[in-house]
Amino acid sequence: MIDTKRIGIAVAAVGWASAAQAAPAGAGLVPPAMALPAPSGLLDSLLVLTFFAHLVLVNILLGSMLLAILDRRGAASDTPGGVAFLPKTLALAVNFGIAPFLFLQVLYGHFLYPGIVLMAVWWLAVVLFVMLGYYGLYVSDGAVNPARRTTVLILTALLLLMTAFLLTNASTLMLRPALWFQWFSEPHGTILNLRDATLFPRYLHIILASLAVGGLTMAWRARWSARRTGAGPAGDSGSDSGADGAGRRFRRGLDWFFFVSLAQVPVGLLFLFSLPPEVRALFLGGSVLHTAALPLVLSGLLLALFTARRGELGRTTAAALGIVLVMVCVRDMVRAAMLSPYAEAPSAAPNALAMPHGQTAALTLFLVCAVCVAAVLVWLARVLRNVNRCGGSGMEE
């Protein structure tokens, strides 16, 4: 007599074994994905847009802070109020970072949080580093003699650069479930993704991008300073003889952007060829969408370099923002490509009972509120600009 129960168990065991062999390393450690409250395409688009806004502010902050140390005359960091905009920029960067983090945890929380647990101690240190950095920026602005300001800025820069490094670790560790087995030998929350070939090229790419955007920020501040004080056209070399040297700082800011952007080319290639072969192949002809990103970035870079040498700050800034947006999309495509094998791996089905029809109403309310807040921020920015024009607030100098 045939024992159908034993046959069923044997067939199931063979199926599980074959699935385990087909799944990539570490797939068994990935928890089930949560049910999405809205279409994934919409959430991913919001993730890209909100992270773009956050990244621009981060680049302005890090780049301006580093240039305040490396080029004190160009950044006017020794003048009263010369770094007064940095604490405000940090506050905006932190607040604008909340939305992309929320979208990221909805889409990739089952990858993000295991990675955070592995580096839990360092993740908690991020909060401390940002708070100390925020305090350091305020101290460097008003409570310290300008002659000693550079020392405080250096310490603050180290804190924020370490923060950027730890966040880069978190964003790469979530892409490597095969490395999560390391927790069983180091369960203390101090794991860093130092063995990842993409970690340091990615981090260096962020720092160089920040320096380039910091150069543009320097040029914009010089132009605003020239308009406020009547020092002459910002791009005119004759304005170097003015009291604040706005023309010289304008040209120097564009020079920083130009030469740092050139340095991004080898760093970008290093990052590309440090990607896993199957992901790199997508950008080298394996996918039309992925491959199109490279000529788009290169053409935007050439346009930005050309306009920077011509002193066309507005067009250079527009080209630079376009490049940043494309790179954010590339980052999103790299993440999706690296996690696609794990998304296809067999796992428990997500529990969608709590949201059988999604949360369209809640998402609509969120988007309406976001548009209203954006309108209020635009209005507030115009008010502050008018105040600066009338009386000056020291933000440019």
User: Where is 274: in which H helix or E strand?
Assistant: helix 246-274
SS (H, E, C) 57-116: HHHHHHHHHHHHHHCHHHHCCCCCCCCCHHHHHHHHHHHHCHHHHHHHHHHHHHHHHHHH
Give the lowest-confidence range in 50-59, 167-176, 328-337, 349-358: 349-358
Tokens (6 digits) for 223: 């132009």
Mean pLDDT of 69-84: 80
pLDDT at 150: 83
Q: Residue 349's pLDDT is what?
A: 44
In this predicted model, which residue has the larger pLDDT, 388 or 74?
74
- Over residues 39-51, mean pLDDT: 91
Range with top average pLDDT, 40-44, 176-180, 313-317, 339-343: 313-317
Q: Which residues of 354-369 are buried (b: 16+ CB within 10 A; e: fewer)?
A: eeeeeeeeebeebeee
Task: Report yes or no: 257 and 308 within 8 Å, Cβ to Cβ.
Answer: yes
Distance linking the first and last C-alpha atoms of the chain: 92
Please state the rounded mean pLDDT for residues 151-167.
94
Whether residue 304 contacts residue 320, with contact meaning beta carbons closer than 8 Å, is answered with: yes
pLDDT at 146: 65
Please state the rounded mean pLDDT for residues 158-176: 94
Q: Is 230's pLDDT higher than 70? A: no
| C-alpha–C-alpha distance, residues 245 and 251, integer Å | 10
Distance CA 186, CA 258 (A): 44
Q: Is the pLDDT of residue 283 over 50?
A: yes
In this predicted model, what pLDDT tens digit does every residue of 102-151 receive, in sequence order? 999 999 988 999 999 999 999 999 999 999 999 999 888 776 666 678 88
Sign of dihedral through CA atoms 268, 270, 275, 279?
positive
Tens-digit pLDDT profile for residues 243-258: 457 788 899 999 999 9
pLDDT at 344: 59
Count of C-beta atoms within a 10 Å radius of residue 349: 8
Query: Rounded to two decimals, what is the model's pTM?
Result: 0.82
Concatenate the DSSP letters of all residues of 26-64 into one string. TGGGSPPPPPPSS-HHHHHHHHHHHHHHHHHHHHHHHHH
Asked if pLDDT for residue 98 goes beyond 80, the answer is yes
Question: Helix, strand, or coil here: 397?
Answer: coil
Task: Compute how many other C-beta atoms are within 10 angstroms of the C-beta atom of residue 303.
Answer: 17
Mean pLDDT across 311-323: 94
Q: pLDDT value at position 202?
A: 94
Residue 185's Cβ-side half-sphere holds a number of Cα atoms within 13 Å equal to 4
Q: pLDDT above 90 covers what percent of the chain?
A: 51
Which of 30-34, 46-50, 82-86, 284-288 comes out lowest in average pLDDT? 30-34
pLDDT over 90 at 82, yes or no: no
Q: Give the pLDDT confidence of 331-348 residue by residue, as tens digits.
A: 999 999 999 888 754 444
Mean pLDDT of the chain: 82
Rounded Cα distance between 211 and 64, Å, is 7
Region 171-187: mean pLDDT is 89
Q: What is the mean pLDDT of residues 145-162?
A: 86
- Of residues 179 and 359, the one with the higher pLDDT is 179
Sign for the pseudo-dihedral over CA of 287, 289, 294, 298: positive
Decide which of 200 and 245 is more confident: 200
For the CA atoms of the chain, what is the radius of gyration?
A: 24
Give the pLDDT confidence of 286-305 residue by residue, as tens digits: 899 999 999 999 999 999 99
State the pLDDT confidence band at 26, using cuts at 50, 70 and 90: low
Comparing C-alpha atoms, which of 215, 295, 312, 304 is closest to residue 255? Answer: 215
What's the mean pLDDT in 200-225? 93
User: How much is the pLDDT for 32?
Assistant: 81
- Rounded to an integer, the average pLDDT of 145-174 is 89
Top mean pLDDT of 79-88, 321-330, 339-348 is at 321-330
